[in-house]
Structure 1
Amino acid sequence: MKINNKAYINYFDSISCAGNNSEELFESICLKKDTISINSTYVKERNVAIGGIQRDKDLNNILKERCDKLLDITKLHDFSNTLLIIGSSVGGMNETEKLFFKNKNYKEINPKKHPVDAISHFLKQHYKFYDDVSFSTACTSSANALGYAKEVIEKGIYENVLVIGIDSLSHTTVCGFSALSVLSSKTCTPFDKNRDGMNVAEGFGILLLQNKKEENSIELCGVGYSSDSHHMTQPHPEGLGAKKAMENALENANLHKNDISYINAHGTGTFANDFSELNAIKSLFIENKPKVSSTKSTTGHTLGAAGAIEAIISCMVLKEQIIPANKGLIEIEIEDINYSFETTSSKVDYVLSNSFAFGGNNTSLIFGLVK
C-alpha cells in the first residue's frame, strides 16, 4: 500500500509519580527530583521502592477527566472519527484484586473489567470511538500502540488516533517482579555499576496523533520492531534484538544513525536489561555517539505505559531542546557510551526511545522536529 501521510503528535498529557502533567514530569526529570517512595504493603516482609501516585481517585477516572480536557483544548469535538489504541500490561487486574482482597472471592468480579481491554471498555461507556484496539506486550505495549498508530495514519486508514498507555500498581505485577529478584529497595540507578534493581510504577500517557501538521507538532518519524526470543524474561546479553529494533527504526525513518541526538533508553536498572541495552547502543553508535539517559529513576518503570510516557518525554526534549541526565549514575560499568551526567541545553533534531519486554519483544521509536 502506498504511504502518503505522516504521523504528527499534536497533543499529549500524562500523570505519574513524577508529576501531574507532562510539564511537571519533565521538570522532575531535569531537576533529578526524588519521586520514588518506599512501600511495605505489596511484598510480604519486605520494603520495595515503587512509583506510586498520590491520588484520591481511581486512575481510570483521572484518565476520563484528561480525555475531556483533550476534547476541550483540541479541535476535536468528539471521538467519533478517532481510533482508540490502548497499551497496557495490567489492564483491569488491580480492580479484580481490590474485590478479591475485600471479600476473598470472585463472585462480584465483572469479567469485562479485568482483561487488558478493560480500559477501552471503561472509556467506551463515556465516549463513542470509531473503533478501538488494545495491545498487551508487557513493557512494549504502548510503544507498539504508537507504532501501529503511525502505520494506520500513514496508510490513510485513520486521520485521528488516540494512543493511551496506562498501568496501575497491582500486587500481581509487583510480587511477580519480586519473585524474579529484580526489585530494588531504593530508587533505581540505571547503568550504574552498583545498581540493584527496578522500581515498579504506575501512570498513563495520552498522545493524539493526526495526519495534519500543526504549529507545535512533533513527528513520529520511525518505528522499529524485533523479536530475539532469547529467553522468557531476559534479553540477549549482547543486545542483538535491541540493536535490530534501533536499526529498523532508523531505516523506517529514512535516517542515518548520526542523525540521532539523544537516546531515551529503556534503562530499568536491572543487570540483564542495562547490560544488554548498553551493548546494543555501543555496537550501533560507534562514531557520532548520541547522549544516552534513562528517566526511570524519576518515573519508575510504568510497564505497559512506559512507551507512551517516554514518548512524551522525548517530545518534551525536542520542544525544550534539553537533554535530561541519568539520575543516580555515579560509577559506569560499560565504556564508550555518551552518558548524560547532567541536564544540559543542546540542539536536538531527533530522539530515539527504546522499549524492551519479556520474550525479546523490542520496539524503538524515533521522534523529530517538524521541518
Structure 2
Amino acid sequence: MDSGETGEQVAVTGIGLVTPGGIGTEATWEAVCTGRSAARTDPALQGLPVSISCRVPPQEKRPGKLWRYDRSTRFLLLAAEEALSSAGLAGRDWDPARVAVVVGTAAGGIDTLETQHQKLLTVGHTALSPMTLPAFLPNMAAGHLALELGITGPSLQTSTACASGATALITACLLLRAGACDIAVAGGTDAMITPLCAAAFAKMGALSRREHDPGHASRPFDKERDGFVLGEGSALLVLERRRHADARGAAPLAVLAGHGSTSDAHHATAPHPQGAGLRAAVEAALADAGAGIGDVDHINAHGTSTPLNDKAEATAIRHLFATRRPPVTSAKGALGHTMGAAGAIEAALTVLTIARGTIPPTANFTAPDETTAGIDIVSGHSRAQPVRLALSHSLGFGGHNTVLALAAA
C-alpha cells in the first residue's frame, strides 16, 4: 500500500476502548464477536418516547478528581490508559512536544450542560458547579487529556457529528504526515444518553421503538430495522510515524494507509439516497492508500439500523463492489450508536479484525429487505478470514462522509 504524500506509513500501535460492550478492548471485542447486544431499558429515560439505551457498564470507583469531568471525558481518560499501555507508552517515554492529541465529539459535555442547566432553573445560580464550563465546552476533552498526559504538542477537537471520531483519526494522520508530531493519541468520545438528546432523536423518528425487546432493537441492514439505539463510549488509537514506532521497537497492529472525506450537500440529516458522497470518500481513501476496489477484503460499515442510512450505504457498496462482495459488518447491533465516538470505536474494531483475522457478526441481522440485499452481511457468528485491507465507513448529520483505509502492518 502507498503511504500518503510523505511516503511514510502511519502505524497503529495501541488501542483503548470503553464501550457498552465493556471496559477495555477484550471486553468490547468479546461482546461484538458474540453478537451480544448491550441495549437495556434505561431508568434515566423513563417517561420519554423511547427509554432504551446502550450504556457503558459502571466503572470501579477510582481515586482522583473524576468528578470534575463530564462523563464523556471520564470515558476518554479510561480509554487513554489502555491505549498507552497497549502501545508500550505507559511510562510516557516520549518528547511531549512531539505528541498530538486529537479528539472527536458530536456534543461535547452535553451531560454536564443539561445537569447544570436544570440546577439553574430549579435551584438558581448558586447551585452551579464552578467546573461547568471546563466540563462541557467542546474543546475540553482534548484539553483535559493533554493535561492528564502532559502533552505539549498540538491539541485539537473535531466535530463532524457521528463521523467525529474518524475525522479525528484523519486529522491526526495529517499531522503525522506533515511532520508536526511523531505520535498522536486520537479518537472519539461521547456521552449523549441524556433526556434532551434522547427526546430530540425520538422526535426526529431516528430511534428504534422496539422497547418491548431492547436486545433486538438495533438491527443494522435488517428488513425489520426501525432506528438506532442511543449509545455512549470512547475509543483512542495511538498513531505513530512508522519509523518512530520501529525505532522504539513497537509492533504495529495495522497501518492507517489512506483516508477520504466528502460532503453530500444534499440534506441536513438524511444521507444522499444513492450514497454518492460515500462512494467518493471510498474512492479517495483507496487512492490515498494506493489501492483499488479489488484490494478490499472487508468493510466495517456505519450501519446505524435506520431505514435511510442503511439503504444509502448498501446502495453505495453495491455500486462500488459490483463484481466482488467483501464481507460487511456493523458493530451497532451490539453496541448501539455511540455518536461521535462511533468512527473511532469502529476503526479500532477494524484494526482488531486485521490483526486477528476475524470479522465480527452484525448482531440481530436476520435477513435484508430489497434496499439492503446484495451485500455480504456477516451474521450469526464471527467469520475467520485473512484481511489485508479494510475500509471503515462513518457518516454524520450535515452530510459528512469519512472513510478510513486500514491495512495489515
Instruction: Give the TM-score normalised by structure 2.
Output: 0.85
CA contact (8 A) 2:23 2:57 kept: no
Which runs of structure 2 are paired with 1:83-98 in the superposition (5 Å)? 83-98=100-115
Map of 1:316 onto structure 2:
352
CA RMSD in angstroms comes to 2.0
> Cα distance, 1:226 vs. partner?
0.9
Distance in structure 2 (CA, Å) of the matches to 1:44 and 1:364: 38
CA contact (8 A) 2:162 2:397 kept: yes
Distance in structure 2 (CA, Å) of the matches to 1:61 and 1:331: 38
Q: Secondary structure at the match of 1:204?
A: strand
CA contact (8 A) 2:258 2:406 kept: yes
> Cα distance, 1:53 vs. partner?
1.4
Indicate yes or no: 2:68 matched with 1:55.
no
Which runs of structure 2 are paired with 1:284-323 in the superposition (5 Å)? 284-323=320-359
Q: 1:362 to 1:316 in 2, by over 3 A?
A: same
Q: Which moved more, 1:338-347 or 1:12-21?
A: 338-347
Distance in structure 2 (CA, Å) of the matches to 1:40 and 1:80: 45
> Cα distance, 1:49 vs. partner?
2.4
Distance in structure 1 (CA, Å) of the matches to 2:97 and 2:271: 40
Map of 1:328 onto structure 2:
364
CA contact (8 A) 1:38 1:47 kept: no
2:384 aligned to 340, 345, 351, which one? 345
Indicate yes or no: 2:101 matched with 1:77.
no
Map of 2:67 onto structure 1:
none
Distance in structure 1 (CA, Å) of the matches to 2:240 and 2:384: 29
CA contact (8 A) 1:5 1:156 kept: no
Percent of pairs with identical residues: 27
CA contact (8 A) 2:143 2:155 kept: no
Q: 1:147 to 1:318 in 2, by over 3 A?
A: same
Distance in structure 2 (CA, Å) of the matches to 1:197 and 1:48: 13
Indicate yes or no: 2:126 matched with 1:113.
no
Indicate yes or no: 2:36 matched with 1:33.
yes
Map of 2:150 onto structure 1:
128
Aligned residues: 370
Indicate yes or no: 2:35 matched with 1:22.
no
Distance in structure 2 (CA, Å) of the matches to 1:2 and 1:260: 21
Map of 1:179 onto structure 2:
203
- Where structure 2 has 5 or more consecutive residues not aligned to the other structure, the ranges are 62-70
Distance in structure 1 (CA, Å) of the matches to 2:149 and 2:358: 36
CA contact (8 A) 1:4 1:156 kept: no
Distance in structure 1 (CA, Å) of the matches to 2:385 and 2:146: 42
Map of 1:198 onto structure 2:
228
Instruction: Give the TM-score normalised by structure 1.
Output: 0.94
2:13 aligned to 5, 10, 24, which one? 10
Distance in structure 2 (CA, Å) of the matches to 1:303 and 1:145: 13
Q: 1:324 to 1:114 in 2, by over 3 A?
A: same
Map of 2:163 onto structure 1:
140
Distance in structure 2 (CA, Å) of the matches to 1:96 and 1:208: 30
Indicate yes or no: 2:221 matched with 1:221.
no
Q: Secondary structure at the match of 2:401?
A: strand
> Cα distance, 1:59 vs. partner?
4.7
1:149 aligned to 172, 175, 194, which one? 172
Q: Secondary structure at the match of 2:57?
A: coil
1:96 is matched by which residue type in structure 2?
A: L
Q: Which moved more, 1:91-100 or 1:109-118?
A: 109-118
Map of 1:211 onto structure 2:
241
